[in-house]
Amino acid sequence: MLDLQALLTSISDRIYHEADWGQPAQYIPDLAEIEPAQFAISVCMADGATYSAGLANQRFTIQSISKVFALIATLGRIGDQLWARVDREPSGTAFDSIVLLESDKGHPRNPFVNAGAIVTTDALLSGREPKLALAEFLHLVRAMTEDDDIHINGAVARSEQETGARNKALAHYLASYENLFNPPDLVLGTYFHQCAIEMTTIQLARAGRVLAGLKGSPRVMSLNHARRVNALMMTCGHYDGSGDFAFRVGLPGKSGVGGGILIIAPNVASIGIWSPGLNFYGNSNAGTRAAAYLTQETGWSVF
């Protein structure tokens, strides 16, 4: 029988032994300072048990993993109307790339590249005050986790606001194609705060239970929406590294430049991993290896 606790401990030991960390995100000053030699993994199982190894109580900013929650919130708010503004195809380009936006006439390839997430945030803002939109967003994340001890790291949000020239360019470019309905600065301020939500790997794994369809998880979304979000995580969740992630791990996953990864094993488990050093694609370097070790040993790949 699978001894999951022993497996997670051995994966954590292996990751520390290999000491192949990568470099934390350099373009967000507050992330650039983080010690890369850190690792955590947590797994929530269908029977309600949670197993962890490494620094599972360490908080990190979820960054682009917030795009999963923004997609869930947007589907809940406007449903299929979203697809008139964002496509559902892998981009094959970096998370912050602008190249396809011109040929695609301001229509982002998917909700997980930055341009697509700026559009979902815009959809969440329409018709209400940014403070309320952000409060509702945090409420959703807390409800999915069943834990109110989840907060926004204001310093990281400000750090990105002061330096985020690339995202500002994307937002203004979207506006030029009339695919942004609110002022770009307002949308970006909200987007940066969503990205700066801090969670532990335990909280992240708990938040994913509804996507994994685990019994007893909070009913914040329909089964149909969960299926669609998982499909997008599989095909687009790691940007131009999505094919490699599917090849090595074989599960829907969403990364963030804070070093977190949320991974869904449908009907089996929800997994949170963190290690702040990144690979070429801007996804957690050690975290991706740990995910591959986990699915190799458990056979949880969907393929």
Options 256, 272, 277, 287; binder of ligand DON; rule CB under 6 A: 256
Question: Do the Cβ atoms of 284 and 37 come closer than 8 Å?
Answer: no
Based on CB atoms, which residue is closest to ligand DON, 12 or 279? 279
Q: Is 257 a catalytic residue?
A: yes
Other residues' Cβ atoms within 10 Å of the Cβ of residue 302: 15
Place of tokens 């330096």: 163
- Strand positions, DSSP E, 175-296: 197-199, 253-255, 260-265, 269-274
Question: Of 173, 210, 208, 209, whose CA–CA distance to 188 is shortest?
Answer: 173
Alpha helices (H) in 79-106, listed in sequence order: 99-103
Q: Is 67 a catalytic residue?
A: yes
CA distance 3 to 167: 44
| Stretch 234-253 residues interacting with ligand DON (CB under 6 A) | none
Question: x/- string (CB under 6 A) for ligand DON, residues 121-160?
Answer: ---------------------------------------x
CA distance 288 to 246: 11
Q: Which of 42, 257, 284, 293 is catalytic?
A: 257
Based on CB atoms, which residue is closest to ligand DON, 153 or 295? 153
| Stretch 170-209 residues interacting with ligand DON (CB under 6 A) | 195
Nearest distance in Å: CB 225, ligand DON: 22
Q: Is 209 helix (H, G, I), strand (E, B) or coil?
A: helix
Options 42, 63, 145, 242; binder of ligand DON; rule CB under 6 A: 63
Nearest distance in Å: CB 202, ligand DON: 20
- Is residue 283 part of the contact set for ligand DON (CB under 6 A)? yes
Based on CB atoms, which residue is closest to ligand DON, 250 or 282? 282
| Token digits of residue 119 | 């559009």
Q: Dihedral sign, CA of 10, 245, 298, 50?
A: positive
| Stretch 1-60 residues interacting with ligand DON (CB under 6 A) | none
CA distance 81 to 225: 13
Nearest distance in Å: CB 69, ligand DON: 13
CA distance 115 to 118: 5
Nearest distance in Å: CB 29, ligand DON: 12
| Token digits of residue 88 | 């559902």
When CB distances to ligand DON are compared, the closest residue is: 64
Q: Which of 43, 67, 159, 255 is catalytic?
A: 67
Q: Which of 51, 239, 281, 293 is catalytic?
A: 239
Nearest distance in Å: CB 268, ligand DON: 25
Pairing label, strands 197-199, 260-265? unpaired
| Stretch 67-126 residues interacting with ligand DON (CB under 6 A) | 95-96, 114
Question: Do the Cβ atoms of 164 and 172 come closer than 8 Å?
Answer: no
Catalytic sites, residue numbers: 64, 67, 191, 239, 257
Where along the sequence are the contacts to ligand DON (CB under 6 A)?
63-64, 95-96, 114, 160, 167, 195, 255-257, 282-283
